[in-house]
Amino acid sequence: MGYYTAYGISVDADHGFEHQEDEFHNELKSVAEKWNYGDEIDELFEYGVYAKLYDLSGWISELAPKYPHLLIQLSGDGEESDDMWEERWKGVDHEIQKAVIPPFTNSNLLTEAERINRNIQ
């Protein structure tokens, strides 16, 4: 079976390094083609792709240090309602942020379970 994710990518180059955007795209596609995902990479760069690209983040992590003048932003929206994230690389720098709905603060709007968990009367 598998798990689909809607992926989006954005690559922004520092001034004077715009040529590296195409180089990165081509190198990522080359890596993906080894696993028969080359077409998905082209779709990803063109308008986003809905696919099972489980190793995409790892491939980018391996390539990003070769491109220290590119800010690479990968976003994902998975099949599960709580699976939304964005991951960024610039050279060896890397960070991922996952969407989280913060808890409600108005005590009048809490469920009974939330009241019990927060020890609110």
Q: What percent of the chain has pLDDT over 70?
A: 98
**Cβ distance 90 to 104 under 8 Å?**
no
Average pLDDT over residues 32-51: 96
What pTM value is reported for the model?
0.85
Let me know how long the chain is. Answer: 121
Number of structural domains (the chain) is: 1
Task: Supply the range of the domain harboring residue 103.
Answer: 5-107+111-117
Tokens read off for 9: 């990518």
Strand partners, 94: 89
Nearest of 9, 52, 18, 45 to residue 29 by alpha carbon? 45
Q: For residue 40, is pLDDT > 80? A: yes
Predicted confidence band at 1 (pLDDT cuts at 50, 70, 90)? low
Q: 70-80: per-residue pLDDT in tens?
A: 999 999 999 88
